[in-house]
């Protein structure tokens, strides 16, 4: 042990000698002059020229952070507002897009007094869970049709599944939802059959009926219901006679 | 009242064998604070060779060493008000020089990381400082070093910085363990350990000289 320790000491001593044997260098003759020059230039502010750079190095990232934080904060708040407003507008009147030129084909019909108390809604044909407003982050995945991504898009209103105003619901889908099998025969929607126990049957729709209007608005092959709406009435032509029916959920 | 040095004859201190000065460093610092430029000139005269040599052995680049040595004195000058006399001035100035040298090494390392060579560097290699050969001609000092000196200098330059500081301060500059511990802001035991470890690495590199 001592032998090893001594060897280590000798090795270290030898290294110290080798390193210590290196020739020393000296500062150049104008060393002091150059130091003075640097000090003088620093006094004139040249040495402190780093200050703007330091400020920039701190300020630029800080501004970027604030901008990014503000961006996400703004849209998060805006998304919350849109979510709230969705609840308030869930029972608004529908927007109907008909054909390629709505003004030509979607002329409103004259309202009748036959169904003044009509309260049945198309929305009621949709499972009740789908009518609840979207709750972002909810553990119930069946609620709503949105997502965190959608919620973060401030400009996108979040509607229950199937009532996305941007998606639209074609007339064919509406009829299918109420259990009516109808086809466009080139001029009108003709009912082939009505599923038993469904809204269509309860509302009085029968095979052979020609569906002319929904909620007092004429429908054609390309009619699309935009957004959620309250459905009140259905105008059909049966044996050449117009009959106004009431939706019965 | 400013301390007048103009009439004094002050011998330039020889590096590593500095004679006991007639006027202490603290007095010179105090005089400089009071506006005596000659006192600061004396400070420069006492330490310029030692700091230049220290930085040269640390960086293995004479021009860079001179540049950082000058910067060291500039930093000292502008930090005179913050200097506390409970520390030896030599400790203070070596600490500034060490920090500048380490910053320079890290700057070199960052530059190296951006190079293609850095992409293929292994974890083990990263702890070893790589010093490219300085092919520039020395303008102010003519250095004629023999083969052994160049090998030793290269070996020192390849030490990791934490060992290099300790070994150069101890074996090149001849500073005491206590002073090195203060310069490196480490405990005495850690300082001795680093010196020993640094020498051990050097021994492996300088095997042929044993």
Task: Give residue-wise pLDDT tens across range A156-187.
Answer: 455 555 555 566 778 888 888 888 899 888 88
Q: Do B48 and A47 touch (CB under 8 A)?
A: no
pLDDT computed for residue A42 by the predictor:
79
Are B69 and B51 a contacting pair, CB within 8 Å?
Answer: yes
- Say yes or no to pLDDT of B123 above 50: no
Residue A125 near residue A200 (C-beta atoms within 8 A): no
Q: Would the pLDDT of B170 be above 50? A: yes
In chain B, pLDDT over 70 holds for what percent of residues?
74
Q: Name the pLDDT band for A10 (thresholds 50, 70, 90).
A: confident
pLDDT digits (tens, 9 = 90+) for A117-144: 444 444 444 444 444 444 444 444 444 4
Please state whether B179 falls in left (phi above 0), alpha (psi between -120 and 50) or beta: alpha
Chain A contacts of B65, Cβ < 8 Å? 25
A27, pLDDT greater than 90: yes
Hey, is the C-beta of A16 within 8 angstroms of any chain B C-beta?
A: yes
Cβ-Cβ contacts under 8 Å for A25 (sequence gap 6 or more): B49, B52, B53, B56, B62, B65, B141, B143
**Are A205 and A191 spatial neighbours (Cβ–Cβ below 8 Å)?**
yes
Range of weakest confidence among A58-62, A130-134, A222-226, B100-104: A130-134
Picking from A13, A31, A42, A45 by the largest number of B CB atoms within 10 A of its own CB, the best residue to mutate is: A31
Distance, CA of A213 to CA of A106 (rounded, Å): 9
Interchain pair A20, B171: CB under 8 A: yes
| pLDDT above 70 (res A46) | no
Q: Which two tokens stand for residue A177?
A: 């939802």
Contact indicator for A236, A212 with CB cutoff of 8 Å = yes
- Is residue A21 pLDDT above 80, yes or no? yes
Spell out the residues 6+ positions from residue B173 whose beta carbon is closer than 8 angstroms to its own: B15, B16, B50, B53, B54, B94
Answer with the residue of higher pLDDT: A125 or B147.
Answer: B147
Q: Does A4 touch chain B (CB under 8 A)?
A: no
Residue B153 has a pLDDT of 92
CB atoms A11 and B210 under 8 Å: yes
Residue A24 pLDDT level (bands cut at 50, 70, 90): very high
pLDDT digits (tens, 9 = 90+) for A185-216: 888 889 999 988 888 888 889 899 998 888 78
Question: What's the gap in Å between the CA of B101 and the closest CA on chain A?
Answer: 16
List, as ranges, residues 91-110 from B with C-beta within 8 Å of A: none
Looking up tokens 């060493």 gives B65
Inter-chain touch A32–B44, beta carbons under 8 Å = yes
B66/A31 CB distance under 8 A: yes
A28, closest residue in chain B (CA to CA):
B140
User: Would the pLDDT of A113 be above 50?
Assistant: no
Closest chain A C-alpha to B120 CA, distance in angstroms:
31
Whether ipTM > 0.95 holds is no
Q: How confident is the model at residue A149 (pLDDT cuts 50, 70, 90)?
A: low
**What's the pLDDT score for residue A110?**
41
Q: Which residue has the higher pLDDT, B155 or A154?
A: B155
Residues B88-113 have a mean pLDDT of 88
Angstrom distances, CA of residue B53 to CA of A25, A57, A131, B57: 5, 34, 82, 6
Q: Is B55 on the interface with A (CB under 8 A)?
A: no
pLDDT reading at B155 higher than 90: yes
pLDDT above 50 for B3: no
Q: pLDDT at position A26, please?
A: 93
Identify the three-state secondary structure at position A237: strand
Q: In this predicted structure, what is the pLDDT of residue A166?
A: 60
């Amino acid at each position: 042990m001592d032998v090893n320790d001594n060897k280590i000491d000798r090795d270290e001593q030898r290294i110290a000698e080798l390193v210590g044997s290196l020739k020393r260098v000296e500062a150049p003759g104008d060393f002091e002059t150059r130091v003075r020059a640097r000090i003088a230039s620093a006094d004139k502010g040249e040495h402190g020229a780093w200050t703007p750079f330091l400020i920039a190095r701190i300020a630029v990232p800080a501004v970027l952070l604030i901008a990014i934080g503000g961006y996400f904060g703004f849209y998060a708040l805006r998304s919350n507002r849109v979510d709230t407003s969705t609840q308030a507008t869930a029972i608004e009147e529908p927007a109907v897009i008909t054909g390629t030129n709505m003004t030509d084909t979607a002329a409103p019909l004259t309202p009748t007094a036959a169904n003044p108390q009509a309260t049945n809604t198309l929305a009621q044909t949709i499972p009740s869970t789908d009518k609840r407003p979207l709750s972002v982050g909810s553990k119930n995945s069946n609620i709503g049709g949105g997502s965190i991504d959608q919620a973060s898009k401030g400009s996108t209103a979040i509607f229950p599944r199937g009532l996305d105003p941007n998606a639209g619901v074609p007339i064919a889908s509406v009829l299918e939802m109420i259990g009516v099998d109808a086809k466009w025969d080139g001029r009108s929607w003709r009912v082939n059959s009505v599923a038993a126990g469904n809204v269509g049957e309860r509302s009085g729709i029968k095979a052979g009926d020609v569906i002319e209007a929904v909620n007092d608005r004429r429908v054609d092959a390309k009619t699309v219901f935009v957004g959620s709406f309250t459905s009140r009435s259905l105008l059909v032509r049966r044996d050449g006679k117009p009959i106004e029916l009431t939706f019965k959920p | 009242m400013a301390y007048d040095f103009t009439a004094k004859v002050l011998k330039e201190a020889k590096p590593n064998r500095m004679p006991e000065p007639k006027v202490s460093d603290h007095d010179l610092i105090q005089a400089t604070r009071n506006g005596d430029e000659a006192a600061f000139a004396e400070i420069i005269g006492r330490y310029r060779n030692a700091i230049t040599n220290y930085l040269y052995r640390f960086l293995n680049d004479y021009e860079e060493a001179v540049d950082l040595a000058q910067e060291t004195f500039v930093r000292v000058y502008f930090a005179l008000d913050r200097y506390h006399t409970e520390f030896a001035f030599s400790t203070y100035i070596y600490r500034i020089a060490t920090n500048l040298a380490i910053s320079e090494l890290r700057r070199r390392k960052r530059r190296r990381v951006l190079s293609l060579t850095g992409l293929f560097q292994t974890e083990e290699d990263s702890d070893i400082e790589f010093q490219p050969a300085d092919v520039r001609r020395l303008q102010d000092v003519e250095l004629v070093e023999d083969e052994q000196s160049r090998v030793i200098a290269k070996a020192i330059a390849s030490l990791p910085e934490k060992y290099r500081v300790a070994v150069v301060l101890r074996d090149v500059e001849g500073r005491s363990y206590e002073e090195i511990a203060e310069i490196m802001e480490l405990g005495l035991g850690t300082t001795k350990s680093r010196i020993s470890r640094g020498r051990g690495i050097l021994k492996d590199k300088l095997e042929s000289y044993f």
